[in-house]
Amino acid sequence: MPATLNYPGVYVEELPSGVHAITGVPTSITAFVGRAARGPLNSPTVINSFSDFGRQFGGIVAGYPLGYSVRDFFANGGGQAVIVRVWMAASSPSSSSTSTSSMSSASSASSASSASSASSASSASSASSASSASSVSGSSSSSSSAFSLPSQSDGVARMNATGPDSIGLALQAASPGTWGNAVQVHVATNKLDATVAASLGYADPGVLFDLLVTDTGSGLSETIRNVSVVDGTRRIDQVLPIESQLVLMQQNPDGTPVLPNPLVAPPATAEPPLLASPPNPPNTLGPWPNLSGGVDSAFITDPKLYTPVDGSKTGIYALENTDIFNLLCIPPDTSTWSSTSVFFTTVYPLALVYCKSRRAVLLVDSPSDWTTVAQAQAGPAGLNLTAGGDYGAIYFPMLVEADPLRPGQLANFAPSGAVAGVIAQTDATRGVWKAPAGTAAALAGVQGLSVPMTNADNGQLNPVGVNCLRTFQFTGSVVWGARTMRGADALTDDYKYLPVRRLALYIEESLYRGTQWVVFEPNDEPLWSQIRLNVQAFMQSLFLQQAFAGTTPKDAYLVKCDSETTTPYDQSVGVVNILVGFAPLRPAEFVVLQIQQLAGQTGSS
């Protein structure tokens, strides 16, 4: 009723329909966790193409299997991926002293001071690879005129450039790896108009400068304009994470940026020295200085980098910082991985547990030492992946593909990335309830399989829950299995088949997100009827897409939320129970053709 009825006439009022539409969640967002040549560490990064992966993580690089898996994902129909890069220091990391460079121009006392400061920093670096010092002009306190540079054992390339008025700029590459050694940096004085500087919150234009950065390896160039070491809106350590893909300020062990202390404006000079050239510098200024000390990741032998036990959000648990993923691929870190490697003893079992908590499915690459069908048949029992195995699927054998880094040569690759792409393609064309297997589940770019199989060979692996990859005439290499790791016939599991498990996860996640509005609503029949209305509408939409078995809604699904599911006791403790059931479509694995002769038939009527 309107709030006030004070004049005779007609009042119009809009009433809520009571419908809270439940939208289905994505089904094939694939998370990849592994080593890459570059890119942010332990930070889930969404990409939508292999070109995105190349720009942000370096693309395909020798010795990095992750790049090949991501390539296969997009080549086979994948749409969106989330990349988590991990990195491990070598057992005996080579120490690299911090590169120190002074960028100066025409002869001036300030320039000479800058060079002297840089020389002091270089000497300090030679004495200790973990520290360096750089003077701040005009500072009277030694504690406020120097800063210490962090340890070099993290593989990040660094340099100590000299900024305006000889202020040291402790810069580093945005992520570990030798790629950072190709990054060049120039500092250029800005000479902004005082009015423009004031609009940025700085009274003295002389404290602002430009940072010119070039990655000579990829060709990417950046100009970070109007930054300062003076506290304010353009403080360099706060600007670089937002505006630069290549460099950051170095950090102290406590995570604070390495900056002059205290952060006050240096004394103004009549004419700030030109400390660096603009783009296309004159030859007389010499080459731009490079960062140095970057080190690539070693092969990861510590499972805690994938599955930390200290509660940190690194490795696969970095995915806690992403909203949703449906498939998880952890490509083995080397070209060969045995059934006794850390992947099978530690990483995969914990990944299955994590996938269960996130309503996702783990795609497992079978061990590379499964070189025969007999080994693959006996192998699953020793992998310790049966517990929680309905949240995972294993594929055998490896793919034989061309290696773009070795023209004309073929190599073996883990299949999980390609299978994830096939699953994404099947979801898009048929739905999550369709088994991602069959003659339509072709593997693009695959030249062959490491272990060719016959029907008899396939018949040994299917009953133990190993999904086979097969090659047939005309269709090429295809996915020829759709079981979870609880799919062995002996287990008789409800979630024997991958499409049944994935459809259940899809329904669970969609309803979980679509019923958040219910929390704190009055818990009685009006609420229950609204819940039934909304959930039934969602399930009916799936029924119309032929996602369920059964010819009528009554046969296909069930939604119950009433006084039977939610008793007075449940109401007293704040609980509302919603029962949702569905009749799953199981794939037709075995097609039986019965042929019979019709004897004594003389004709047809």
In whole angstroms, what is the distance from residue 338 CA to residue 92 CA? 25
Separation between Cα atoms, residue 219 and residue 317, nearest integer Å: 33
Please name which of 396, 398, 399 lies closest in space to residue 460, comparing C-alpha atoms.
396
Three-class secondary structure of residue 468 per DSSP: strand
Instruction: Quote the tokens at residue 241.
Output: 């994470």
> Quick check: helix, strand or coil at residue 446?
strand
Contact (Cβ atoms closer than 8 angstroms) between residue 536 and residue 579: no
Among the listed residues 206, 318, 322, the one whose alpha carbon sits nearest the alpha carbon of residue 272: 206
Quick one: CA dihedral 242, 245, 246, 251, positive or negative?
positive
How far apart CA 259 and CA 139 sit, in angstroms, is 14
Distance from C-alpha of 445 to C-alpha of 68, rounded to nearest angstrom: 11
Q: Domain segments of the chain: what residues? A: 30-88+299-501, 99-285, 524-605
Give pLDDT, residue 163.
Answer: 58
Tokens 């009723």 correspond to: 1
Residue 338: closest CA among 362, 364, 363, 366? 366
Q: What DSSP character marks residue 270?
A: S
| 391 neighbors 349 (Cβ within 8 angstroms) | no
Cis before residue 262, ω within 30 degrees of 0?
yes
Q: Give CA–CA dist 575/310, Å, rounded.
A: 34
pLDDT value, residue 583 = 97
pLDDT of residue 286: 40
**Mean pLDDT, each 10-residue run in order, the chain (605 residues):** 84 87 96 94 96 94 94 97 92 39 34 36 34 32 37 74 65 90 84 82 85 88 89 89 90 81 47 40 48 86 89 94 97 84 91 97 95 94 88 96 92 96 97 97 95 95 96 94 95 96 98 97 96 96 97 97 97 98 94 89 62
Contacts 24+ apart (CB under 8 A), 178-181: 178/294, 178/295, 178/296, 179/37, 179/38, 179/58, 179/215, 179/217, 179/218, 179/294, 180/38, 180/156, 180/291, 180/293, 180/294, 181/157, 181/290, 181/291, 181/292, 181/293, 181/294
Three-state secondary-structure class, residue 277: coil
The pLDDT score that the predictor gives to residue 371 is 93
Dihedral angle computed from the Cα positions of residues 56, 60, 66 and 68, in that order, rounded to the nearest 10 degrees: 130
Q: CA-CA distance, 133 to 124, in Å (whole number)?
A: 6
Q: What is the DSSP string of 62-99?
A: TT-HHHHHHHHHHHTT---EEEEE-----SSPPP-PPE
Q: Supply φ then ψ for residue 548, to 5 degrees.
A: -120, 160
Beta bridge partners of 579: 560
DSSP readout, 313-349? Answer: S-GGGGGGGSS--SEEE---SSS---TTSHIIIIIHH
Is 185 in a helix, a strand, or coil? strand
Q: Which residues pair with 121 in a beta bridge?
A: none
Torsion of CA 316, 317, 319, 321, to 10 degrees: -160
Q: Residue 509, CB half-sphere, CA atoms under 13 Å: how many?
A: 22
User: Residue 465's closest CA among 405, 381, 549, 539?
Assistant: 381
* pTM of structure: 0.82
Instruction: Supply the DSSP string of 143-163, one letter for each residue.
Output: GGS--PPPPSTT---EEEEE-
Q: What is the pLDDT at residue 165? A: 54
- The predicted pLDDT at position 202 comes to 87
The per-residue pLDDT for 382 is 86
Other CB atoms within a 10 A radius of the CB of residue 432 amount to 25
| DSSP state letter for 486 | T
CA distance 67 to 73: 10
Q: What is the 3-state secondary structure (H, E, C) of 505-525?
A: HHHHHHHHHHCHHHCCCCCCH
Report, at the CATH architecture level, how domain 30-88+299-501 is classified.
Answer: 3-Layer(aba) Sandwich (3.40)
Q: How far is CA 366 from the centre of its chain?
A: 22
